[in-house]
Chain A
């Protein structure tokens, strides 16, 4: 503990090594740039493992994700790779979901079960998504090795999703689709983001591709817009209701994150798609398992203390 590199986080109420947090931001930024994701699902757990209260981690990471997705969204906007209409409909759901998520967060916090809820959500989400991704990546790799040609996506094959009413034409994505599943996905992602401190890009992108059949040209840019707005909204809501957003922490993370992301993006361009998917899947799976182990093992200390109010 050398005082010179220690910085005091005002909300987390904890002195931390500034270079450790910067390095974590950069490392997660690198990974997020490489895979084209927000990286919240890595950042929040890392902060928790370092000793920052889960509640503060979740609330502060939201603004960090907003920063990185904003720089991403600008780049995609310039390339006209964002579908404004689709983003708008997704956002309607996203805003509702975020509000629901923050109020659930507040409720669980008062019941003393917030940490459990965060851990359980991570276990459930990360092990399934990570498992599926790793499996898919592995299968794709095996197929290419055997020289099997992957059948192209069957255009015109419509699932039950495409039979729903309230259809709308999304011009830039060239799809004709009911708004119901779009709004539902928005709510789902907004809720998860507020509760878990993740942007949700790693779930949103596959959902949009497989369920909504959004073309790959607009899918990442559009999902970034949803991430950006829900995370901004979540930051404000967390600041109002729980006063847990640590701006100093967020600023350090942003500085490390946006820099790391640039190098990650260059590294990612050199790796093949299915290898990337396998790696990302394994990474997500590993974080999920880490949380699961934490829940199942007998904790080192069964007791915890939390201040409920200072009167001075």
Chain B
């Protein structure tokens, strides 16, 4: 009995001793998003959320922590997508080759307070999936599932097109430190923002070392008539079709009454 209790005690002591080596205990991140539930209405034309936070130091924080670096990654709802490439065949441009992207974020934003190469070494960036180039975007290539090198033509075209539509972004000057420990960043949401749950991952670095991370989330919901339409189009296709045809007949009939005689 005694020996077992002693063993557990020793393990606990060992863990406690090991903890300072894992730097996560020294600082804590506290963050908040300005709005946890964004509602998209028919005249929605984009919005910007604000993420606020502070770095809480405690007694274990080494004194030499002069400055912090912060990388915020926002990952929207995941979806399967296909990227197609046009080729010239018989004189016209047609879709020829394609790649399937499996469960990739429909929205992806990476914000930092300075260039990622200054925040951490390439190896750390890769391990922590910092930046669009290091995010894992799984492709199906024939029977295989894999991510490919960042300069793969399909992958880079995919990222480029998503960036052009404002759904993927990388801005390494978006995070600003108001005080050495208080930070904020804007999260721009374009008009065509996909609905669903958005995960926010905030990672703290100092001197190129990963120190702490925390997570938050917000939700984008579409409300109002247009969402009602979209939901029903998807779920009750038959009734939706009938109502649309009824609408067509009504407006045609009304037109024939209004303009009956001139």
Contacts and interface: CB of A to CB of B under 8 A. Distances in A.
Contacts of B94: 113, 116
Interface in B231-259: 233-234, 237-238, 240-245, 247-249, 251-256, 259
Contacts of B56: none
A115 B84 CA distance: 12
Contact of B196 (A13, A115, A310): A310
Contacts of B83: 303-305
A32 interface: no
- Residue among A71, A266, A308 facing the most chain B CB atoms (10 A cut-off): A71
B79 A305 contact: no
Interface string A50-76: 000000000000011011111100110
- Residue among A67, A238, A248, A307 facing the most chain B CB atoms (10 A cut-off): A67
B80 interface: yes
A311 B79 contact: yes
A67 B252 contact: yes
B42 interface: yes
Contacts of A74: 252-253, 256
Given A240-B237, A243-B233, A70 B93 contact: no
B53 to A, nearest CB: 26
Nearest to A303: B157
B242 A236 contact: yes
A239 B256 contact: no
Contacts of B158: 303, 305
Contact of A307 (B80, B237, B241): B80
A250 B246 CA distance: 12
B36 interface: no
B2 interface: no
A154 interface: no
B238 A239 contact: yes
Nearest to A74: B256
A239 B240 contact: yes
Given A232-B248, A245-B233, A308 B255 contact: no
Given A70-B253, A247-B233, A236 B86 contact: no
A307 B132 CA distance: 19
Interface in B14-73: 40-45
B227 interface: yes
B194 interface: yes
B241 A235 contact: yes
B262 interface: yes
A68 B252 contact: yes
Nearest to B236: A239
A307 B254 CA distance: 38
A236 B252 contact: no
Interface residues of A, number: 66
A14 interface: yes
B191 A305 contact: no
Nearest to A231: B248
A267 B258 CA distance: 18
B210 interface: no
B189 interface: no
Interface in B84-116: 84-88, 91-95, 98, 100, 103, 106
A46 interface: no
- Residue among A4, A243, A250 facing the most chain B CB atoms (10 A cut-off): A243
A302 B80 contact: no
A311 B227 CA distance: 17
B95 A112 contact: yes
A308 to B, nearest CB: 5
Interface string A256-276: 001101100010000000000
Nearest to A15: B191
B209 interface: no
B258 to A, nearest CB: 8
Given A11-B233, A71-B256, A254 B248 contact: yes
A247 B230 CA distance: 9
A306 B99 CA distance: 11
Given A63-B247, A305-B83, A7 B43 contact: yes
B256 A75 contact: yes
A118 B95 CA distance: 13
A146 interface: no
A251 interface: yes
Contact of A3 (B43, B80, B259): B43
Given A236-B238, A302-B87, 19 more contacts: A11-B229, A13-B192, A70-B248, A239-B237, A239-B241, A240-B237, A246-B233, A247-B244, A250-B248, A301-B161, A302-B85, A302-B93, A303-B157, A304-B161, A307-B80, A310-B79, A310-B194, A311-B79, A312-B196
Closest 10 CB pairs of A and B: A239-B241, A70-B252, A258-B255, A236-B241, A303-B157, A10-B230, A67-B248, A71-B252, A66-B248, A71-B256
5 contacts: A8-B41, A67-B247, A239-B237, A239-B244, A298-B88
Interface of A: 1, 3-4, 6-11, 13-15, 63-64, 66-71, 74-75, 112-113, 115-116, 231-232, 235-241, 243, 245-248, 250-251, 254-255, 258-259, 261-262, 266, 295-299, 301-312
